[in-house]
Structure 1
Amino acid sequence: MTPRTMAKTGKTRHEAVSLATVARETGVSVATVSRIVNSKSGRASAETIARVAEAIERLGYRPNPVGRALRRRASRVVAMLSPNLDNPAMAAIAVSTEAALRDAGYVMILCDTHDRPELQDDYLQAMRDQFVAGYVMVSAVRSKGLEEALGRGDPVVFVARRNPFGGGAFVGIDDRAAGADAADFMLARGIERPAVLMAAQNISSTAERAAGFIERLVARGIPDEAIRRASAPGLSHIEIGYSAAGALVRDGGWPPGALCVSDLIAYGAYRLAVESGLAIPRDCTLVGVDGNGLNDWIAPWLTSIRIPYEIFGRHILEQLRLQWSGAVTSEVHVPHESLAATPQ
């Protein structure tokens, strides 16, 4: 496309020109444009064919081979986009998904988005250029590229954190139920004034854990104002746990118990407790969420709600297959391991 043409159409080299763009310019349907592009003009008149051909040339439209590959499932590659792969929970989801895809004859590419929308979009575009068959979005954030992928109807499964735009295929636990389980656990041990530690950017999964915890405590007679809450900014859950625990201590001292919305937040809180001379769990019961496999080795002091990440992969694969076949997807809630079964 020449600079003069770009000025005339208002397009830049970086703006995508789609079938819909050509259809709007020519006043015909997207289906008609698609047939003409694929040399299957059908009943389109010679005048319509010429008008569409002129618009294609003027706008610089090029057929999108990636979209065709996605629709035809020509690719055997699936992209997983996940933040902060140093988090054992993210790594466990990746291991489970890779194994399920490999057994089904697919190859998985793994990208770390670091919870940054611009990096998420860079990877979405890079993976689209690689003709991937679908995307597994672990703890996705809102971004323009994700919105566009959903608008195109690309196969996407959201894991752990729901679609930030709403709807879509989802695999995770019932986070509210997990929070409620933690509340029951504490009340059963006589801890009637527990606290909750969370991230300042409390997104769907961790926000629902905290909400379920508080709602269950209130339902069982604990005044809402008696439930202490502390949060801290950042992306590292260990650092968030340390800082949030510090804020809690400065605002009234250590509570007898606290829900940490992830195991890593509990690790951070534990570090501060050790520095403060507290014995965990004797002086403060910390309950985490994840059930990190390392806990038995490095955190025997932690009670954790275990999420069976090892079975996530098969559910993720099934949700992708439903989309590839044009079937209806759903929200899959994988049961977490009840704390009632946790030995004390």
Structure 2
Amino acid sequence: MDKMTDTIEAFLSLRRKATINDVARLAGVSKKTVSRVINNSPSVHARTRDAISEVIARISFQPDPQARGLAFRRSFLIGLIYDNPNAQYIVNMQMGVLDRLRGTGNELVVHPCDWRSDDFIPELRQFLEHQRLAGVIILPPIAEDRRLLDLLDEMEVPRVRVTARAGASNQPTISGQEIVSHDHIGCAEASAHIALLGHRRIGYIGGNLDYPSAHERRRGFDAGLAQHGCAIAPDLDEGGNYSFASGYEAGQRLLTRPDRPTAIICANDEMAAGAYKAAYESGLRIPQDLTVVGFDDAPIADRLSPPLTTVRLPTRDMARMAANLLISPEPSTISHLQVDSKLVVRGSSAKAPNP
């Protein structure tokens, strides 16, 4: 073994947490040089970089994001701010952000909030001041809140909005960038699929109208049906809020009618799962007696019985893209990135039953 290996083995025998000073001593370089390697500075010679990287790996050194923030006068923390009842959507977003941050030295701070609270903006101001974030990703519906956008501008916090509707921020810089999902495209495909199966008595369980996605999805569903001379029956048009409970309750109302629908379109998979429960309790079989269609292609869609026909929105990919915009060394000149949705046909849709 060479001298460095012996020294590293001696350090490991101490069984204590490694510090940046340990890395510098073991690699025989200055603390400043180690910092440059950690932060991917191009000014370090390749051989020196490799030696430092080897030491970091062998002693399992993990840089402290807060300490790095103090040294470089900024945080290495990315915030994910949301107020959303769809738990799976939030999990997918977290996983996507973490996919991109892994190995970069940046960390994720997740911050739920209450959009309707009187303390919404003061509480977020306190959070931002305390964390000194390098940037934030904001999710619907608060991604549409002008007060929050103004606060982030005032505090000069870079942001990426995730939204179903472009245009709430017209700034070309990174602070105004956005990931825009084209929800209506897949929705039009889904409703056209239902019309082609012969359904004419079609119910709808919509999303929370505070969310642009609720309007964009409805626009798409209506367009797909109109292509085939169909429409959602006005008396079968139910509101929901993207939760399982709201889908179940709306499903009960729809399926206990004497002239119940033969198909139900749901604005997300959570509500579709609620409609499944209502159908089961009504003694209806899916898809023989009732076709159900959702939106998101969340993990639950493939776990229902039968598996749910739905519209796939790549939320994890969207989160990965949003994180990339914040940590990329070169700010993008693109004001927004667009993501399409797509119909996925599974076992919950079938031809309309005979009258």
Is this contact kept in 1: 2:255–2:282, CA < 8 A?
no
Change (3 A) 1:133 1:218: same
Q: Structure 1, residues 45-72: CA drift from partner, whole Å, max 9, x if none?
A: xxxxxxxxxxxxxxxxxxxxxxxx8xx8
**Whole-angstrom distance in 1 between the partners of 2:119 and 2:288:** 43
Change (3 A) 1:331 1:145: closer
**Whole-angstrom distance in 2 between the partners of 1:297 and 1:116:** 34
| Structure 1 equivalent of residue 338 of structure 2 | 333
Is this contact kept in 1: 2:242–2:267, CA < 8 A?
no
Is this contact kept in 2: 1:258–1:285, CA < 8 A?
yes
Is this contact kept in 1: 2:202–2:233, CA < 8 A?
no
Please report how far the alpha carbon of residue 83 of structure 1 lies from its aligned counterpart in structure 2 after TM superposition: 2.8
| Structure 1 equivalent of residue 109 of structure 2 | 109
**Whole-angstrom distance in 1 between the partners of 2:299 and 2:89:** 9
**Whole-angstrom distance in 2 between the partners of 1:178 and 1:314:** 21
Alignment partner of 1:173 is 2:181: yes
Please report how far the alpha carbon of residue 162 of structure 1 lies from its aligned counterpart in structure 2 after TM superposition: 4.6
Length, aligned pairs only: 271
Q: Structure 1, residues 94-123: CA drift from partner, whole Å, max 9, x if none?
A: 111122123333111011225545565324
For the residue of structure 2 that corresponds to 1:205, the secondary structure is helix
2:219 maps to a residue whose letter is A
| Structure 1 equivalent of residue 252 of structure 2 | 246
Q: Which moved more, 1:276-285 or 1:77-86?
A: 77-86
Q: Structure 1, residues 282-323: CA drift from partner, whole Å, max 9, x if none?
A: 21111111111233334434212222233223311233247x
For the residue of structure 1 that corresponds to 2:299, the secondary structure is coil
Change (3 A) 1:198 1:114: farther
**Whole-angstrom distance in 1 between the partners of 2:300 and 2:233:** 35
Alignment partner of 1:95 is 2:95: yes
After superposition, the CA RMSD in angstroms is: 3.1
| Structure 2 equivalent of residue 201 of structure 1 | 209
Is this contact kept in 2: 1:261–1:289, CA < 8 A?
yes
For the residue of structure 1 that corresponds to 2:137, the secondary structure is strand
1:281 maps to a residue whose letter is P
Please report how far the alpha carbon of residue 182 of structure 1 lies from its aligned counterpart in structure 2 after TM superposition: 1.0
Is this contact kept in 2: 1:260–1:287, CA < 8 A?
yes
| Structure 1 equivalent of residue 38 of structure 2 | none
**Whole-angstrom distance in 1 between the partners of 2:258 and 2:333:** 50
2:158 maps to a residue whose letter is P
Change (3 A) 1:274 1:73: farther
| Structure 1 equivalent of residue 264 of structure 2 | 258
Q: 1:288 aligns with which of 282, 294, 300?
A: 294
Is this contact kept in 2: 1:85–1:112, CA < 8 A?
no
Q: Which moved more, 1:198-207 or 1:221-230?
A: 221-230
Change (3 A) 1:246 1:202: farther
**Whole-angstrom distance in 2 between the partners of 1:273 and 1:164:** 40
| Structure 1 equivalent of residue 140 of structure 2 | 139
Please report how far the alpha carbon of residue 243 of structure 1 lies from its aligned counterpart in structure 2 after TM superposition: 2.1
| Structure 2 equivalent of residue 26 of structure 1 | none
**Whole-angstrom distance in 1 between the partners of 2:221 and 2:325:** 29
**Whole-angstrom distance in 2 between the partners of 1:298 and 1:184:** 23
Q: Which moved more, 1:273-282 or 1:136-145?
A: 136-145
TM-score by length of 2: 0.66
Listed as ranges, the matches of 1:181-192 within 5 Å are: 181-192=189-200
Gaps of 5+ in 2: 1-68, 171-175, 350-355
Q: Which moved more, 1:110-119 or 1:205-214?
A: 110-119
**Whole-angstrom distance in 2 between the partners of 1:266 and 1:336:** 17
**Whole-angstrom distance in 1 between the partners of 2:222 and 2:304:** 29
Alignment partner of 1:218 is 2:226: yes
**Whole-angstrom distance in 1 between the partners of 2:76 and 2:214:** 33
Q: Percent identity?
A: 23
| Structure 2 equivalent of residue 75 of structure 1 | 75
Change (3 A) 1:313 1:108: same
Q: Structure 1, residues 127-146: CA drift from partner, whole Å, max 9, x if none?
A: 33211011101113226344
Is this contact kept in 2: 1:147–1:165, CA < 8 A?
no
**Whole-angstrom distance in 2 between the partners of 1:202 and 1:148:** 20
Gaps of 5+ in 1: 1-68
Listed as ranges, the matches of 1:257-336 within 5 Å are: 257-321=263-327, 327-336=332-341
Is this contact kept in 2: 1:101–1:317, CA < 8 A?
yes
Q: Structure 1, residues 168-220: CA drift from partner, whole Å, max 9, x if none?
A: 42224311112101112212322233222113535111221111101221233
1:314 maps to a residue whose letter is R
Please report how far the alpha carbon of residue 332 of structure 1 lies from its aligned counterpart in structure 2 after TM superposition: 2.0
| Structure 2 equivalent of residue 52 of structure 1 | none
2:275 maps to a residue whose letter is A
1:148 maps to a residue whose letter is L
Change (3 A) 1:293 1:278: same
Is this contact kept in 2: 1:80–1:109, CA < 8 A?
yes
TM-score by length of 1: 0.68
**Whole-angstrom distance in 2 between the partners of 1:164 and 1:239:** 32
